Amino acid sequence: MSALFTSPLRIFWLALLACGMLAPLFLPTYYVSVATQILIFAVLAMSVDVLAGFAGRTPLCHGAIFGTSTYVVLYCAAHAGLPLPLAMLLGVLAATVLAAVFGLLAVRTSGVYFLLLTLALGLIVWGVCLRWTQVTGGENGLRGQLRAQVGLSSRELYAAVLFVVAIVTFAMWRFVRSPFGLTLRGVKDGESRMSSLGYNVPLHLIIAFTASGYFAGIAGALYAVFNDFVSPSTVQLSQSVSGLLMAIVGGIGTLFGAFVGAFLIIALEQAVSMFTERWLMVLGLTFIGIMIFAPEGVLGKARLIMAARKLQK
């Protein structure tokens, strides 16, 4: 913790952040729900960043892991009649197990192969959700009244989500800063070096993958309560892509940048959907634009531009 509070400036920023996080509580309901969504997706983006930024493996299946948790929570709570906390627990568990299986399969590959494989695995989840109509409801999806069951207003829900997200964020921060997280960074920077030093690289990657799936599962469980509805579009590729895009926009390897990324992408989505239904096209164009002009993310790009300006002076 000490690293976080070293300078007065840091404390100022943290205070400002806390105010910013609490501000939506005093805004109209629409903004409250957008803010809740931003928090949930920031967790998804951070879970992607744990793998992409710290273990050097860019995954394209986190939307599917996230959505699996959402499906399980809604199915258990609304169709199997389990109490919500148990349903959420099961959802997170399902996501973690799924991530462990994916991890087992994927860790031997790296780079583009890893991306391809995780993409295919995620698409298989989508295909199953689409076709296994008895359980998943097919195209119609699953609907529940989870929020009504627990009796939370949208402001209370935001506060609850904020609380959970704060804890999860802290956990992820500890995770990537832990000796284990440092080993992961070592794997990212020099895999063969780490394995010749005696580290069990595949095991580290499987654990990292499972942990990142666990975090994505928490986001998915929160999303189930927030949205009260899940359909194949929750597990489809565009979900994984948005999660990755948020992580990239915020800056891969920054962890907290995910909040900025989630804010920018969801704000863009909300703004675009006021004018047109072509959100997917805008998402695609944004992705292309980011890949060509700012692969280091918006913050990273801004930092580079500032640095260049300073040099000129």
Partner 1 sequence: MLAFQIMNGLTFAALLFVVASGFTLIFGLLRIVNLAHGALYLFGGYIGFTISKLTGSFLIGGIGAMLCVAIMGLLLDQGLLRFVRGFELRQVMLTLGVAFVLNDLALVMWGGDTFTVATPEWLQGAVVIGSLFYPKFRIFVLVVGILVFISLWLLINKTRLGALIRAGVDDLEMVEACGIDIRRVFLVTFMLGSALAGLGGMLGGTFLALYPSADAEILVFSLAVVIIGGRGSLVGAAIGSLLIGLLNTFGQVWFPQLAYFVIFGPMAVLLAFRPLGLFGKAA
Torsion sign, CA atoms 258, 264, 265, 267: positive
Q: Side chain identity at 181, as an amino acid letter?
A: G
Q: Which region among 28-36, 152-160, 231-239, 263-271 touches partner 1 (by CB under 8 A)?
A: 231-239
Q: Is 83 or 284 the residue whose CB approaches partner 1 more closely?
A: 284
- Residues with Cβ within 8 Å of residue 33, at least 6 apart in sequence: 154, 158, 226
State the alpha helices, DSSP H only, in 178-278.
179-189, 191-196, 201-227, 232-235, 237-250, 257-275
Binding mask 27-66 for partner 1 (x = CB under 8 A): -------------------------------x-x------
Report, in Å, the least distance between residue 292 CB and partner 1.
5
Q: Which is nearer to partner 1, 148 or 274 (CB)?
A: 274
Looking at the DSSP assignment, which residues form a beta bridge with residue 143? 229
Q: What angle do CA 99, 69, 205 make, to 5 degrees?
A: 15
Site residues for partner 1, 112-151, by CB under 8 A, read 112-113, 115-117, 119-121, 123-124, 126-128, 131-134
Label residues 248-279 b or e (16+ Cβ within 10 Å = b).
bbbbbbbbbbbbbbbbbbbeebeebeeeeeee
167 binds partner 1 (CB under 8 A): no
234 binding partner 1? (CB under 8 A): no
Q: Which is nearer to partner 1, 17 or 124 (CB)?
A: 124
Three-state secondary-structure class, residue 142: strand
Smallest gap from residue 235 Cβ to partner 1 (A): 11
Given 37, 55, 286, 297, the residue binding partner 1 (CB under 8 A): 286
Cβ-based nearer residue to partner 1, 278 or 303: 278
Of 176 and 294, CB closest to partner 1: 294
Backbone angles phi, psi at 27, to 5 degrees: -95, 170
Which structure tokens are listed for 218? 């928490």
229 three-class SS: strand
The single residue among 21, 100, 150, 237 that binds partner 1, judged by CB under 8 A, is: 237
Binding site residues, partner 1, CB under 8 A: 58, 60, 105-106, 108-109, 111-113, 115-117, 119-121, 123-124, 126-128, 131-134, 236-238, 241, 244, 278, 280-281, 283-288, 291-292, 295
